[in-house]
Structure formats: C-alpha cells, structure tokens
Structure 1
Amino acid sequence: MKKILILIALLIGIKDYARAQSVSQNERMQWWRDAHFGMFIHWGLYAKPAGEWKGKEIEGIGEWIMKRAQIPAVEYRQLAKEFNPVKFNAHDFVTTAKNAGMKYITITSKHHDGFAMFKSDASDYNIVDATPYGKDVIKALAEECHKQGLRICFYYSQSRDWNELNGLDNDWDFPKERNFQKYLDEKVKPQLTELLTNYGPVGLIWFDTPMSITKEQAQSLKDLVRKLQPECIISGRLGGGVETDYMSTGDNVIPATVVPGDWEVPATLNNTWGFKKNDHHWKSPVDLTRLLFDITAKGGNYLLNVGPTAEGLIPQESVDILAKVGDWMKTNSESIYGALPNPFNVEFKWGNITQKSGKLYLGIFDWPSGDFYLEGLENKVNKVYLLSDANQTPLPFKSIYNKKLKHHTLKIELPDAAPDEAVSVVVLEIKGKAKVEHEICQSVDGSVLLHGAMADARKGGKPYDLKFTARGGGADWKDENVNLTWNFKVEEPGQYKIDLVSTETGSHGNPLWQGGHKVKIQTSGQSVEFVVKDDFSEYNQRTQYWKKIHTDGGIINLKKAGEYTLSLEPQMLSDGNLGFTFQSISLIPVNH
C-alpha cells in the first residue's frame, strides 16, 4: 500500500509539473504586457494609526510605522481589535481603478506587519478572526475584479514579518536567532496556498524585500505558485537570485531609456504607501499622465498606489486625481494599451513616443510655440493626425533629408493650442516597421543633445555600467575615474554654449541633489573646466517630477561641419551619498 501511495504522489507531481510547463512565458505575460497600467493598494492595520503613535507623528512611510516607532508586537496586535472598515465597498475600489484606465489591482494581502487581510487558517492574525469587521476584504475585491474584468493580484511579504518570532526584521522585541525555514513552512507557504486556491484566477503574486532568503527557499515559493496557478505571474522581488517573470524598478524610479524585457514601476500618489493622515503631497493628474506615457514609451508598466483609510475608503483626493487620468485615457488609451516602446530609445525634450504596427504615437508634453520637428525617422510617413480628433483630420507635414549629414527630419504643422494639458498625442501612420537613425545629429534649431544614456561610459578604458534614470541621470556616479564620450555630427560650424543638466533624485518627498562637482569637457582639441551649479533654488521645472538644474559650462568652438567627439570627465566629485546626478549636455549655438 505504501508503494502505491508513493506512486500516486509521484504521478500527481508529474501532472502538476507538466501543467506548469504547458503555459509558455509569452502566454503568461501577454495580458500584463498589454495592460501597462495597474493599481497598487497598501491597506492594513497601519491605516489605523495613520502615521501617528501615542500622539507623536512618526517619520517615514505609513505602512512601516511598526518598525519606525519600534512598536512591540504585543501592542501593535491590539490595533486589530479596533480595525473595523465598515465603509469598504469592493465595487467602489474596482470602479475607481477601472475608471482610471487601470487593468489590474495588486493589494497587500499581508504586509511586513504580518497581518493578513484575508481569512487564513494558517494564522488567526487576520481580518476575519482578529477584528470586529470579521469579513474577508480580499474575497470581496477578488470577486468584484472578476466581475468587472480586471485582474486581481496579491502582494505578499515573504520574508519580513514583524509579528512572528521566526519572521525577519523585528529586532526590537524578538531574539536575534530564529528559524526562518519554520516560518516559511508554517505561515508563508500555507497562506500562499490559500491565496492561490480560494480566490479564483490570480494575475500575479507580488513578493517584496527578500532580505536573506536563500535560493532554495525562494525557488520553493516559485514552484508552489507554478504548481497551484501556472498562469500566475511572479514579480521581481522574490530574492535568492531566482529568475522571475518581470523586474520591478526601485520605488518611484523611472528609467532614462527604453529597457528591454518586462518591468514595472511601483509608485505612489503622494509620499506614502499606507495611509498617513498628514500626507497631502499629491502628485498632479498632469504629472501622473505624463509618467504613464513615459513609462509605457520606455517599455514598462505603471503600478500606481492608493492607501485606503481605516474606515475602508480610498482618499477622495486619490479618487479625483485618478478620475482625471482616466479622462485622458478615454481618449488616448490607444497609445497605451498594447503599445510597444519608443524606437528612438531615449525621451525627447518635448515628450516621448509609443508605437504599434504601422503607427507612432508622439506624446507631446510641452506643446511647441512654432514648427514641430521629429528628427531621425527614416520611414515614409503616410498620414499625421491628432489622436483626440475622432475625424482624424490630416495635419500638414513635410519630410526633409539632409544628404550631407544623412539625416532625416519630419516637419509637422500643429495647431496653435495643445489639445490636452498633460499629453497631446500625434499619430504618425508610417510604412513598415519603424526605422530610426542612431547617430547623434545637430537638430533643426541648431542644438546638439548629448544624453547621458546615449554615451559610451568607461573606466580605465574599459566599458562601465553607469545607470541612468529619468529623474536622476547617473545617480550612482561617484567614481571620478568614470568618464562619458559621445560621437555626433554638426552641419553649422560656430560657437556653442555648453548647457549641462543635472537632476533631482528625490523619492517619497525627499528632494535629493548636490552640486559642486568639478568637471572637464574636451572636444576638438579644446578643454573647458567648470563647477556644476551648487544652488538648488534655481532650476527649470516642467512639473514636480522633472526637476532639472542647468549649469553654464562656457563656450566651445566647432570650426567646421562634420563629425566630432566630446568627453565629460570628472575632476572632483563632491563628498556625499548622492554622486553626480548628471543627465545631459546640450550644445546651443551662440548666434542661431
């Protein structure tokens, strides 16, 4: 009999493995790749103190109050007796997301405080068994998502658990020694099993902060997800070096260029994730719409967070802001859903580009006062129109080719006024797959843009991986031995002003920037040294999310038309943790 049971178990295991392997990666990821926009929900007991503990406001993000205030687990657990979100309405939550144009919802089923927002037999520290509310909000939300056609997804903190003796990271009232494997076996895996068996199809499991989880432990969690729901996506923060289905950037971190593969930006609407009653630093609908377009243009998804109150309401400010983003999506979602990234790889001064087969969508953030030019597109353009124009009235355009520079320019005659305050989308219908120039050429306005992400970064003559983000280009540039080099073409010789742009790298409401770096620029036998501006009070601000500090680096002389090489070499980087937050150099003609 024992041999028969073993054989049956083996056969079941083989069947589960075969089922898991039957789903291809493309099949698993397609809905997510098409969506580009989802809602994050951070909700738990931490909504009750709402950023304050014993009459004192606690610094930091709301859901970390237990750790920030070093609250003993036995005290924090008492919050469950007061947690009664009687105003929670799953229909309202899902409708808010759907009206914003979001395609999936990811909710904190268990955050670092260890409290489960669902009925769990693995731990009675959950919303059904430990609170006067006594209802499973995860079940209600999952059912409503299925009903309205959104994907339900679950955040689950797999390593940190401040309520458990054997969970990680509570070092203020638990012994240092702990049996983490016991915690995984007795709480994490049983709760994951409940989430993946009791709530219908699950879009993804969003793991977070892996800490010291081993490769074997992380792999066992991945195997469990694959066994129970093979189509369920696994986020990028599982840990242990185990390969997952997509990558998460840092919180609120936007890449500077197109990033290959599948990735997502988790981001906040204000400065916190979990509700804090005193955090009113809301991002504007204009900012958020531009960020959604920009992230899509770089190939990613935007997971935008709301933090409900202890009563069970999404703050009205969040609802109103998302509704305005949704108004834009009602007209312009064609440029987002199913869109592919910008074929030019980097963003433009005026905005960014998404694409589909035979179409480019030019998302213009800053509407031009004069003629508009798209430079470097080699395809034949058949038609140009505004996406907001239901009649698709053609806009006049002209294709120009510079034989000397081998440079293509498309001139478009746009209306005087922008159709939309946030992002006005111009559609180009083109022949064939988008094909673009990769050389840096002088623009029609005479300037040359040398973006840091387009440079050749080297250290000691060898290639160097210098990371750039849209918000803080080269934010990890702390090594004076790293330098950047660009090759570019100009048609008009003359004197050019050096405009060096550095950026703010702040997150969660903490503006971070430092100047005072001494740099050297060399080109065509000329060398210019200067100090990067150290005055944060003066910067060009498009919105609160695009803060640029401009430094006048002096004049260089490009004596003839042709190809040039320019290098940027630090001479002295300021002390500090930020490094040189360089983004770009513009060469601006003095007499144009």
Structure 2
Amino acid sequence: MKHTPLALLLTMALAAPASAQSPLIDETPAQHDARMAWFRDARFGMFIHWGVYSVPAGEYKDQKDHAEWFLETTRMPVSEYEKFAAQFNPTKFDAHAWAALAKRAGMKYLVITSKHHDGFAIYPSALTDWCIKDTPFGKAGRDPLKELAEACKDEGIRFCTYHSIMDWHHPDWGIRRAWNDKATGTPDMDRFDAYLKGQVAEVVKNYHPGIMWFDGQWEGPWTEARGKDMYAYLRKLDPQLIINNRVGGGTGDYGTPEQTIPATGFGPGVDWESCMTLNDHWGYNKNDHNWKSVTTIIRNLVDCASKGGNYLLNVGPTAEGVIPAESVERLTKVGDWMKVNGESIYRTTASPFRKTPWGRCTRKGSTLYLHVFGRPEGGSLVVPMSNKVRKASFLADSSLPIYAGSQADGQHLALPPDLPDAEDSVIAVTVDGEVEPIVVRIPQDADGKVTLKAADADLAGGVQAEHEPPNIGFWTTAEGAASWPIEVSRPGTFAVSLDYAVPPAGAPSAFVLTAGEGTLSATAAPTKGFDDYTRAEVGTITLAKGPATLTIKPAKAVPSGLMNLRAVTLTPRP
C-alpha cells in the first residue's frame, strides 16, 4: 500500500471484484455464502502495516514523507536497506494489547502484513533469511505472527494476513530495480512463483488466517494465468480461506477500493471492503500528524456498511512495537460509539434507499437503522418508503420522543430538538412487511434536458461509482450495468451525450443503451486515458411520456474496463 498514483488506482479499480460465486473452484452458491458469512457480518476490521521500514520512521536525508514504500521511494541500495533488520527489535510489542485495541474499537477482524513489497517477512520463513529471524527480536525466539494469531483467538478477533506479490528484494521478481545491488543472475518468474507459493503456504499452515490479502499484483510479471493459479492453489490448501481480488487474474472473493468509498457501492451480490489510513501513511511516519477525526472514522464506517461493504482501517506501529497514541485515542472513542450503536453495523445489509440526505441507512430484516448525521431543517426526517412505522427509537436514548406520520413522499419522523450523538445518532425503525422504497425519478429540466449523474445511478454486476466528482468505472463484465429512473413529461427524440474517458490502448468501448422501448448501440471513442474526460454525442433515442429507466451495459465483457462515465445527458431534438 502507498499513496497510490492515479495509474495504479485505475489498475486496482479494474481488477474485477468478486461475483456471487467464486470462479475456478467447485463451490455451490450456498457454500460460497457460508464461507463469506463471517466477513459480511463483521463490517469493521483493523489493518496493520509493520516491518523494517518502521525503523527509519519515514525519514531519509532531508525528506520526511516515506513509509512502507521506503525502499522504492528512496532507491536506497538493498544492501543498505537490509541493515534496518539489525535495528528492528520491537521489545514493546504486546500482541494482546493490539488485539484488545481492535476489540475495544468494535473491530471483528485484523489483517497484518506478513510480507510487504520490500520482501521482508514478519515471521520466521524457512525459505529466506530476509525475515524476522534476521532481527534481534527473531533471534530472541519471538514470532509476531504467532503471538498475534494467538492473541486474536483469545479476544475473539478473526486473524488475517496481507502478503505482497511484488517483491523488490527477491532476485527472481521479473522487474528488477536498478538499486537491488544484492541480486544476481537473470530473474526467473517460475522460480519466484514457487517461492511465493511456498511462503503463503507457510502462512496458511502455521497461522491459519481467515483472509489472504494480496497486493502488488499490477506489475507485468504477474500475469492473469499466475493470478488464477494462485487463487486455485490457496483454495485447495484451505477451502475456507477468503482471498481478495488483488490476487489477480480477474478472480478473488471481494473487491478492494483503496482510500475511497464507492459512491454507490458495488451493487447486489458483490462483496467489498474499503481500506483507509488513519493519517496519510500506511506504515509508521513519525512526522505525519494529519489524523482523521472520530466523526470521519464513524461516518466512513457507516457509509461502507450502508452500501453493503466493510471498512478496513489501518494503524502503523513504531519499530518498538507501539501503536501510536493518536491511533489508540481515536479507536477507543470509536469503540465507545460502537458499544451503543454496534447493532446498526454488524450483520446488516445495504440501504434500500437511493438517497438519504440526512445521513445513511443500514438494514437488518424488518428493522431499518437510520444514521442521522445532522438534524434536518425543521426537525422532520423523511424516510422514502410506503411502509408503516411500528416503532422508532434512538439506540443511544430510547426515552427521546420520535413521532411518525405518512405523507406522499414517505414516512416523516419528527425528531427532538437535540440529538444524542454529534457524530451519528442512530434510530432503529421497525416496519411492517418488506421495505417498499418510494422511487424518486429524475425529472426533465425546464429546457427539456435530462441530466443523469454517476452518483445517482443504480449499479449492478460490480460496476462502481467513486472519486470526486463521481464517475462510474469497474465496467469489466457483461453483467455490469448502470441505470437511472427518469420521468418524461415532454416526450420526443433526444440526442444522447456521454461525459466519459477511455484510454487509447483500451478495448473498443461498445455499449448498449436502453430507455423505455428504445435501444441505442454505440462505441465510445478513445480519449487520452481514464482521467481524460470528453463529452461526445453517441446517437439518439426516442422516449414516450411517463416513467422510464435508462440503462447502459457493455456489449460484451471488457476486462480492461468499458469506460469511466461521469454523466449522460439527453437533449431534445427539434
């Protein structure tokens, strides 16, 4: 992980998130759901980036912005970097304190770097000396992964591991850095593949992680075939293991947006998890004091859960083995909120509503959890559903009065003047029957135009809206689709324009647009890249008066991504 440049973010974005059933393995949908059940229930996890890069604490010469990518960003000779191992002696490391902090914060699982891109293994690997056994800590007989796995078990936390595919230290990784002065001979990816399999097998057999969290798959030596082979290898090694999509090869069990939360999630049937830092770095940087607020952390967690995803929040311990006090303080306060409101996060599903201007919504059976970020003007909170409200009460204080009444746009809840939580006041609402959302259709403008923005789309098949302003990407499968409900008051023929971006080397961006009874087949011409947007008219479509749904789908699967789409505009033709 790192401050990822746009090109790498796009590479990660286009790694296909999981479908409802994992490929390559003979597994029924029911077996897949059973394997993924704990992950879906958990919603909140701790990420830990820790290794010898913690020793320099982000500093090198006159620069102070390094972290876990230290070896790459400084281009320090490997022979010099290896000297940090002799200084890595985290005598203050307390595995039970780390696991207890995760539990105190309300986290249900923990993912720690067994090996990052610098190739250093934080456990005693039998396959290399570039690991914990080459440090004073390891020579004293300590094994951080073993201690943390046992502590997590004691605390009821699911133990998981991160393992980098890319390896700047190993002589056989296909792209050898010029500053790797220890490597000799010609890189051999078959030998490296065997080494990598050997290491992940050590981790699985010795520490039994619930997740193998891969990263560093974007460089050319790691092919689609190697990704698929690794996924199949690990699933046979441990049939219950969950593997993220960064294993490569268009496979994996869930998607992994980084430092962002998808504007609309990934849609039904797709598991995902947003990973984020607490400050600006993944590994420890002693000069980084740009900490997220407790409010931001809580609302990010709620945002993920409301879209059917998990939140994996990172801490970067020091070389002494101490999680920074600023991290501990914030996680403890998040834990205070979770003690009261955790039922609105754990085992919940995504919001049934397209828009909730007052905050977010999660769901558990016939109970809706309304996450109110701020009291609406006038104190009336509108829930866009036709269901009657049987009961409504704040989780933090059930004595506070809430009055419900039906109106044309939904159920109106009259809130008290003061809400119980500044970060997020949660109202548990029990309704009769299945939730029936009131569809709010997008109207024509005064000039007859219809503007359909990425953030307002309903997405399916792994398609995702993210970034600012939001754009729709991840369009890799034939099942991917974006739809908008519209209301046509002035029918006629409309010119269809897209605000989009497509790299020149990408596959032809052929798509099908349907609206009402009309269908338009077109191809979006390439632009200079996924971040180079243009507006282009792609054809016309005729719409009748009344409600309609406009949908865009790829004409066929596009592994490299159909396009990034910011908006669709329908302009009346004379």
Short-chain TM bin = 0.7 to 0.9
CA change 1:288–1:471 in 2 (3 A) is farther
Aligned equivalents of 2:404, 2:345: Cα separation in 1: 24
> 1:202·1:229 contact (CA, 8 Å) conserved in 2?
no
Q: Which amino acid aligns with 1:238?
A: V
More relative contact order, 1 or 2 (CA 8 Å, 6+ apart): 2
Q: Which amino acid aligns with 1:195?
A: V
Aligned equivalents of 1:203, 1:485: Cα separation in 2: 38
CA change 1:226–1:485 in 2 (3 A) is closer
> 1:233·1:245 contact (CA, 8 Å) conserved in 2?
yes
Name 1:150's counterpart in structure 2.
Answer: 157
> 1:252·1:267 contact (CA, 8 Å) conserved in 2?
yes
Residue aligned with 1:198, SS: helix
> 2:164·2:215 contact (CA, 8 Å) conserved in 1?
yes
Name 2:314's counterpart in structure 1.
Answer: 305
Name 1:421's counterpart in structure 2.
Answer: 422
Aligned equivalents of 1:371, 1:452: Cα separation in 2: 30
Of 448, 470, 475 in structure 2, the residue corresponding to residue 473 of structure 1 is 470
Aligned equivalents of 1:150, 1:584: Cα separation in 2: 45
> 2:117·2:216 contact (CA, 8 Å) conserved in 1?
no
Q: Which runs of 5+ in 1 are unaligned?
A: 1-16, 402-407, 443-447, 458-464, 478-482, 491-561, 568-578, 586-592
1:28 aligns with 2:35: yes
Aligned equivalents of 2:546, 2:185: Cα separation in 1: 62
Name 2:554's counterpart in structure 1.
Answer: none
Q: CA deviation at 1:394?
A: 5.5
Aligned equivalents of 1:143, 1:410: Cα separation in 2: 49
State the Cα deviation string for residues 498-551 of structure 1 (Å, max 9, x = none): xxxxxxxxxxxxxxxxxxxxxxxxxxxxxxxxxxxxxxxxxxxxxxxxxxxxxx
Name 1:6's counterpart in structure 2.
Answer: none
- The 5 Å alignment of 1:343-358 reads 343-344=352-353, 346-358=354-366
Name 1:207's counterpart in structure 2.
Answer: 214
> How many aligned residue pairs are there?
457
1:161 aligns with 2:170: no
Higher Cα radius of gyration: 1
CA change 1:280–1:466 in 2 (3 A) is same
Q: Which amino acid aligns with 2:424?
A: V
Aligned equivalents of 1:21, 1:584: Cα separation in 2: 38
CA change 1:163–1:352 in 2 (3 A) is same
Name 1:453's counterpart in structure 2.
Answer: 455
State the Cα deviation string for residues 16-40 of structure 1 (Å, max 9, x = none): x999889911111000000000000
Give the aligned CA root-mean-square deviation in angstroms.
3.5
Aligned equivalents of 1:456, 1:222: Cα separation in 2: 30
Aligned equivalents of 1:245, 1:580: Cα separation in 2: 23
CA change 1:26–1:476 in 2 (3 A) is closer
Name 1:64's counterpart in structure 2.
Answer: 69
Name 1:7's counterpart in structure 2.
Answer: none
Name 2:86's counterpart in structure 1.
Answer: 81
Name 2:368's counterpart in structure 1.
Answer: 360
Q: CA deviation at 1:127?
A: 0.9
Aligned equivalents of 2:451, 2:386: Cα separation in 1: 19
Of 195, 203, 216 in structure 1, the residue corresponding to residue 203 of structure 2 is 195
State the Cα deviation string for residues 46-79 of structure 1 (Å, max 9, x = none): 10111112x32154x5100110111111111111
1:273 aligns with 2:282: yes
Name 1:173's counterpart in structure 2.
Answer: 179
Q: Which amino acid aligns with 1:138?
A: L
> 2:274·2:312 contact (CA, 8 Å) conserved in 1?
yes
Of 125, 133, 146 in structure 2, the residue corresponding to residue 128 of structure 1 is 133
Q: Which amino acid aligns with 1:173?
A: W
Aligned equivalents of 1:454, 1:99: Cα separation in 2: 36
> 1:87·1:312 contact (CA, 8 Å) conserved in 2?
yes
1:117 aligns with 2:122: yes
CA change 1:62–1:24 in 2 (3 A) is same
Q: Which amino acid aligns with 2:193?
A: L
Name 2:19's counterpart in structure 1.
Answer: none
1:411 aligns with 2:412: yes
> 2:110·2:157 contact (CA, 8 Å) conserved in 1?
yes
Q: CA deviation at 1:320?
A: 0.3
Name 1:434's counterpart in structure 2.
Answer: 435
Q: CA deviation at 1:327?
A: 0.6
Residue aligned with 1:388, SS: coil
> 2:451·2:567 contact (CA, 8 Å) conserved in 1?
no
1:282 aligns with 2:291: yes
Q: TM-score, normalised by structure 2?
A: 0.73
1:41 aligns with 2:48: yes
CA change 1:176–1:583 in 2 (3 A) is farther
Q: CA deviation at 1:484?
A: 11
Name 2:96's counterpart in structure 1.
Answer: 91
Q: TM-score, normalised by structure 1?
A: 0.71
> 1:118·1:127 contact (CA, 8 Å) conserved in 2?
yes
Of 379, 382, 405 in structure 2, the residue corresponding to residue 374 of structure 1 is 382
Aligned equivalents of 1:85, 1:203: Cα separation in 2: 25
Q: CA deviation at 1:227?
A: 2.3
State the Cα deviation string for residues 255-298 of structure 1 (Å, max 9, x = none): 11142210010111000000011111000000000010011000
Aligned equivalents of 1:334, 1:449: Cα separation in 2: 38
Residue aligned with 1:433, SS: coil
Q: CA deviation at 1:476?
A: 7.6
Name 1:533's counterpart in structure 2.
Answer: none
Q: CA deviation at 1:176?
A: 10
1:323 aligns with 2:325: no
> 2:44·2:310 contact (CA, 8 Å) conserved in 1?
yes
CA change 1:176–1:255 in 2 (3 A) is farther
Aligned equivalents of 1:485, 1:196: Cα separation in 2: 44
Aligned equivalents of 2:432, 2:386: Cα separation in 1: 10
Q: Which runs of 5+ in 2 are unaligned?
A: 1-23, 444-449, 475-481, 490-544, 551-562, 570-574
Q: CA deviation at 1:214?
A: 2.1
1:255 aligns with 2:252: no
Name 1:216's counterpart in structure 2.
Answer: 225
Identity of aligned residues (%): 39
